[in-house]
Structure 1
Amino acid sequence: MKLRKENILIVDDDLHILEMLQRHLSSWNFHTYRAITVKEAVSILRDSRIDLLITDLKMPKIDGYELIKFVSEHYPGVPRLIITGYPSVQGSLKAIKSGAVGYLTKPFTKEELKTSVEKSLLSNNEALTKKDRRQIPSKSNAGDFKDLVGKSNALGRIFQIIERVKDNKATILITGESGTGKELIARSIHYSGKYKQQAFVPVNCGGIPESLLEAELFGYVKGAFTGADGARDGFFQAADGGTLFLDEIANSSLAVQTRLLRALQEKEVTKVGSRKSEKIDLRIIAATNGNLKEMVQKGSFREDLYYRLTVVDIELPPLRERKIDIPRLVEKFLFKYGVEYKDRLIGISPEALEIMKRYNWPGNIRELENIVQRAVIMCDGRVETENLPDALKYTIDFPDEDFLPLREQETRYLRKVLAHYGNNKTKAAEILGITRKTLREKLKQ
């Protein structure tokens, strides 16, 4: 099922309410952005096209009334729906005066939420005709990402999300098993949008020793630690204006997570050994094959950082759940390695392709690419079944043999060795480690 065209921003400092709202809205195929503070919500509004704002009223530092008034003046075409756990007549009047078009009291049912959202979006459709709206709708080029191959519904949904986020700097978290193509998604977001001329800086957080990760990310000044003979910029500074891709974010220490959180909140970083902060303007895309929610529960990943990273989340399904994409992926890799290794196009037999479609690919797309690469090298112009590894092919699960008496088992083994050596008793006795006489007696028995 396709995503609906509307983008909904939900703002609430209660993480459970935030997650519940996102879950309901996603079930109706809305695309959602989420924020836990007014400051973060304003940042998303400036960078993204929003069709509906859903906000709580009572929040720390700056409340929802301030956000409503801000949106009313800066983005008058965006309808405002208020949800609150502290209903009052005065609060309702104040909310309406501030520019809200809807008012929903906690606790509310899923159907009540749906009704309120639909009514609010009706006013959004009218607001779209106003000339004073400052947000420009994005063009529809979903699916125009050359490196992403496939026609599954899951990939189509990801195309739609990429189309929505490619021209803004909302923080994105990509999750999925190893080998599903998380970095490819990050690159597609960066290079298909208006920031493609800026730097794309990939960082494997799991490939840098923990003791060095902080210095590599944020840079350091001369004398910050032993061996720091001069000042050096980090990956944040290198990606300024563009995109910083933090792969395997789950492998970062709690100390690094704390600094990442500050960088996301304040849009500034401080080099190791320095007291002076530097402003940065970039988009952060993080990725992991781990379960960050479980890590949050265990205390190994900061909950506040998790919610900062998941303004937009993209979940990549494993290849076994989108086997319809396998033929196109095989075609892509056949072309790539056929040209590289054989200077020509390489085909594949229907039987070989059927075997590849049947296999479950625990290593996902990375494993598929490696198998095709090997097959192209081994084939003579067309990939056949014999060019595929045995692990992909059908295997017979033989049942375990019944247990036999030791003498019968010994007799079977003696006959097997004799048959192998053409009934040469001298050779068989040598292999068995017994004398020829002993072998003859055992055979008589």
Structure 2
Amino acid sequence: MALRKENILIVDDDIDILELLQRHLKSMDYHTFKAISVKEALFILKDTEIDLLITDIQMPEIDGLQLLKYANEHHPDMPKLVVTGYPSVDGVLEVIKSGAMDYLTKPFTKAELKDSLAKAFAHRPKKTPPKPKPENINNNKYADMVGESDAFHNVTNIVERVKDNKATILIRGESGTGKELVARAIHYSGKYSRAPFIAVNCGAIPENLQEAELFGYKKGAFTGANEDRNGFFQAAEGGTLFLDEIGTASLTVQTKLLRALQEKEITKVGSQKAQKVDIRIIAATNADLIEEIKKNTFREDLYYRLTVVEINVPPLRERKSDIPLLVEKFLRKYGVEYKDRLLRIAPEALQVLERYYWPGNIRELENIIQRAIIMSDGIIGVKDLPDLLKYQIEFPERGFVPLREMEKEYVKRVLAHTQGNKSKAAEILQIDRKTLRDKLS
């Protein structure tokens, strides 16, 4: 079994230093996380297993010494390195007291960085193997996906079963449900995670170019083919090729896809020579492929080749218990990006989100949370949400009622929202005040 790459967190407000460190560390086969502030670093430390921390000292708002103090209290066994452009004797002593194992002065060489890493990891205490988790414990996070609903766990259970083999998979679901996220979870959670993951939106490639883009072409195969070129299949060699919107692939491409799945080989446009490929194909669609088969726009034999394993990603309206976790994820992600801090959401605003039907699914929720963060001055409230959500009708669960009664309840709700202001309520409802009074009677 391949060993997991060490995760190294780099913290510096200098983007150039961050990029330099990341390049050096990747060339040494480490996995890196970057943070441009201590606040962002704290979020990463909270949710990610970090094996080593590299931080600058002089940073705005909260400095690196405070980060080292926090890391010592919460992650005492994690090695820590300091990189700074302001060295001094007192500074060195303070850094050593703070728990850092070494001190690098900018500019530094790759060899110096490598030596410091070796020292840090050499003094790292050996980890005891984690105790296996009981099978009946349900986690609410898998890869970059979050949820606690039965629908969520149905998906992650299938992902867990297929992640370490190269069975062909078809992911079905409405737009915005996170089909690509599921595909990435399959790839990056399994033993092929170091191999390429190539995502292709078939719907975004013009039909006359699909074959050349997917399978590559030979020089002179068509006008503009000035050199030999590999396609997405060759780029994904050894890893995963994710074909999104597979229902938009042309019939010509479908025929070649079928051969690729059956024979594990492809042929470039303009070539007569077949080329063996070793990849896993994951396809996704929001279309009803059975209906497309009936219309003769999708090959039935290709459909059955694609559905060795089928994963149905549920719409958000069928997993509403996951909304609080998704909101928390997006608040953390975009709060740091837009406001450099973690924002909270008021309970009544969360209730509005849980009530909504979500035709655009998780993508729509993510967009609305981004907007709310930008519009909010602090805690996100109902006022920061789009009107479409504020005035969404919540149908009662007591059974069917007369239309007039349902209309009256909605008018009362709008009136409550305007704090009894009938003029504003009438404006929202696009009726006059007399009609408003009639509907309340």
User: Taking structure 2 as the reference length, what is the TM-score of the superposition?
Assistant: 0.58
Could you tell me which amino acid in structure 2 is paired with residue 361 of structure 1?
A: W
Query: In the alignment, which of 290, 298, 301 is matched to residue 298 of structure 2?
Result: 301
Cα displacement (A) at 1:227: 0.4
What does 1:221-260 align with in structure 2 at a 5 Å threshold?
221-260=218-257
Query: In the alignment, which of 275, 279, 294 is matched to residue 282 of structure 1?
Result: 279
Tell me if structure 1 keeps the 8 A contact 2:356–2:392: no
- Work out the number of aligned pairs and report it: 262
Query: In the alignment, which of 333, 338, 363 is matched to residue 335 of structure 2?
Result: 338
CA distance in 2, matches of 1:371, 1:257: 37
Is 2:324 the partner of 1:327? yes
Could you tell me which amino acid in structure 1 is paired with residue 198 of structure 2?
A: V
Could you tell me which amino acid in structure 2 is paired with residue 336 of structure 1?
A: K
Cα displacement (A) at 1:146: 3.0
CA distance in 1, matches of 2:209, 2:294: 27
Q: Aligned in 2, Cα 1:225/1:316: closer, same or farther, shift over 3 Å? A: same
Tell me if structure 2 keeps the 8 A contact 1:142–1:163: no
Could you tell me which amino acid in structure 2 is paired with residue 191 of structure 1?
A: Y
Tell me if structure 1 keeps the 8 A contact 2:215–2:230: yes
Is 2:376 the partner of 1:379? yes
CA distance in 2, matches of 1:156, 1:303: 30
CA distance in 2, matches of 1:354, 1:210: 44
Q: Which residue of structure 1 aligns with residue 182 of structure 2?
A: 185
Cα deviations by residue, 1:288-326 (Å, 9 ceiling, x for unpaired): 000011111221100000000000000011000110000
CA distance in 2, matches of 1:162, 1:362: 25
Tell me if structure 1 keeps the 8 A contact 2:170–2:283: yes
CA distance in 2, matches of 1:255, 1:278: 18
Q: Secondary structure at the match of 1:203?
A: strand
Could you tell me which amino acid in structure 2 is paired with residue 292 of structure 1?
A: L
* Structure with larger Rg: 1
Which runs of no fewer than 5 residues in structure 1 stay unpaired?
1-138, 401-445
Tell me if structure 1 keeps the 8 A contact 2:202–2:243: yes
Query: In the alignment, which of 149, 173, 178 is matched to residue 176 of structure 1?
Result: 173
Cα deviations by residue, 1:181-225 (Å, 9 ceiling, x for unpaired): 000000000000000000000000000000001000000000000
Q: Which residue of structure 1 aligns with residue 149 of structure 2?
A: 152
Tell me if structure 2 keeps the 8 A contact 1:247–1:287: yes
CA distance in 2, matches of 1:234, 1:298: 29
Could you tell me which amino acid in structure 2 is paired with residue 184 of structure 1?
A: L
Q: Secondary structure at the match of 2:191?
A: coil
Q: Which residue of structure 2 aligns with residue 356 of structure 1?
A: 353
What does 1:1-150 align with in structure 2 at a 5 Å threshold?
145-150=142-147
Could you tell me which amino acid in structure 1 is paired with residue 170 of structure 2?
A: L
Q: Which residue of structure 2 aligns with residue 317 of structure 1?
A: 314
> Kindly, what percent of the aligned residue pairs are identical?
68
Could you tell me which amino acid in structure 1 is paired with residue 383 of structure 2?
A: E
Q: Which residue of structure 1 aligns with residue 258 of structure 2?
A: 261
Cα displacement (A) at 1:142: 7.9
Q: Which residue of structure 1 aligns with residue 203 of structure 2?
A: 206
Q: Secondary structure at the match of 2:146?
A: coil
Query: In the alignment, which of 192, 196, 216 is matched to residue 195 of structure 1?
Result: 192
CA distance in 1, matches of 2:242, 2:365: 24
Tell me if structure 1 keeps the 8 A contact 2:143–2:189: no
Tell me if structure 2 keeps the 8 A contact 1:142–1:160: no
Cα displacement (A) at 1:395: 5.4
Cα deviations by residue, 1:377-397 (Å, 9 ceiling, x for unpaired): 010121010000000012589
Query: In the alignment, which of 344, 348, 358 is matched to residue 347 of structure 1?
Result: 344
CA distance in 2, matches of 1:289, 1:334: 27
Cα displacement (A) at 1:145: 1.9
Tell me if structure 2 keeps the 8 A contact 1:249–1:287: yes
Q: Which residue of structure 2 aligns with residue 36 of structure 1?
A: none
Cα deviations by residue, 1:64-98 (Å, 9 ceiling, x for unpaired): xxxxxxxxxxxxxxxxxxxxxxxxxxxxxxxxxxx
CA distance in 1, matches of 2:315, 2:142: 19
Q: Aligned in 2, Cα 1:204/1:315: closer, same or farther, shift over 3 Å? A: same
> What is the root-mean-square deviation in Å for CA atoms of aligned residues?
1.9
CA distance in 2, matches of 1:310, 1:156: 20
CA distance in 1, matches of 2:392, 2:184: 39
Q: Secondary structure at the match of 1:257?
A: helix
Q: Secondary structure at the match of 1:269?
A: strand
CA distance in 1, matches of 2:333, 2:157: 26
Q: Secondary structure at the match of 1:339?
A: helix
CA distance in 1, matches of 2:155, 2:317: 17
